Amino acid sequence: MRLQFMLSEIFGGVRRNKSMVISVILVSMVSLFFLGSGLLAQRQVDTAKGYWYDKIQVSIFLCTKQSDTPSCATGAVTDGQREQLRSELTDLEPLVKKVYHETSAQAYDRFKEQFRNSPIVDSVPKDSINESFRVQLSDPTKYDVVASSFQGAPGVESVEDQRGLLDKFFAFLNMLSLSAVALAAVMVVCSILLIVTTIRQTAFSRRRETKIMRLVGASAFVIHLPFIIETMLATVLGAALSVGLLWTMVHYGISGFLTDNLSGASGGLLSFIGVADVWAIAPWLFGGAVVLAAMTSWLTLRRYLRV
């Protein structure tokens, strides 16, 4: 009987305040969409950096059977060429702080993990992924010294300053993330103000029912609960819509257009987030919506609905 009464109060309140409830849903959706965009931008930074970004400054990619540069005219790198390159890197100490050697098999496994959201993974043969020396420098500004020493050397396909190529891209993503979070913060404030206004209006429209519930001995929890649940339903629905928008953006915009058009153009340096990343942040968005609604409702009711 009590459950039936509570449900009737909740749905009655939603029906009487449809316009305000819809406003809460939309504002929650927009604020959580911006917050989710900021979180996804940070995940994109982590995904694009991959394993080596924070460890190395220079990548020396060795020849494969498919390499067509003049230094790879004899085919894949030989054992002798590999050891010669390792010895020359050792001779560059103390400029060369540390050298990581990544075999073709290790590189292929890492490639599959980093580009797991890209359709190009299945079409790339295992032996086409370059074996490499990843070099950490004591002074990252001395990239040209290493490049001039190894570019065009026998067994070397290319030498790349990977961080120099990607730093501007990451700076843009970080700016995008901060902007999205700032907009989300503004929209969360708007959500709080709208929830407060909605609850005040709802409480005023139900003042007669509230008085009756007081007279029959209903506890403060029982009187407050319908207001809290109504607000939580609205914000959770807004969170669901925001997740739907984020899924659409990633599935059709990032996993679709950007991956198809930029993965090849970037020379294999960039990998993109996928819909799995949306599902990873979804619980945080729903949890944030529930906490926001519950706390705001509870504090507003304590102030404006005396029991």
pLDDT of residue 172: 76
pLDDT of residue 15: 62
Q: What is the pLDDT of residue 264?
A: 43
pLDDT at res. 244: 94
For residue 234, what are the contacts with CB-CB under 8 A and spacing of at least 6? 21, 24, 25, 28, 293
Q: Which fold has domain 58-160?
A: Alpha-Beta Plaits (3.30.70)
Rounded to two decimals, what is the model's pTM? 0.61
> What is the Cα–Cα distance from 259 to 265, expressed in whole angstroms?
10
- Residues 6+ away with beta carbon under 8 Å from 26: 238
Residues carrying CATH 3.30.70.3040, the chain: 58-160
For residues 139 and 137, give the distance between their C-alpha atoms in angstroms, rounded to a whole number. Answer: 5
Q: 80: which DSSP letter?
A: H
Residue 99: closest CA among 131, 55, 66, 130: 55
| Tokens standing for residue 26 | 């939309």
Token digits of residue 172:
């843009």
Dist CA 132 CA 64 (whole Å): 10
What residues in the chain have per-residue pLDDT under 50? 1, 5, 261-269
211: burial class by Cβ within 10 Å (0-12, 13-18, 19+)? exposed
Is the four-CA dihedral 237, 243, 248, 253 of positive or negative sign?
positive
Phi, psi of 120 (to 5 degrees): -80, -15
Among left, alpha and beta (phi > 0; psi -120 to 50; other), residue 122 is alpha
For residue 270 the two structure tokens come to 């960039």
Q: Which residue has the tokens 């995904």?
A: 47
Please tell me the distance from the alpha carbon of residue 234 to that of residue 195, in angstroms, as a whole number. Answer: 10
What is the crossing angle of helices 162-205 and 220-248, to 10°? 150
Is residue 53 within 8 A of residue 60, CB to CB? The reply is no
* CA 188 from centroid of its chain's CA atoms: 19
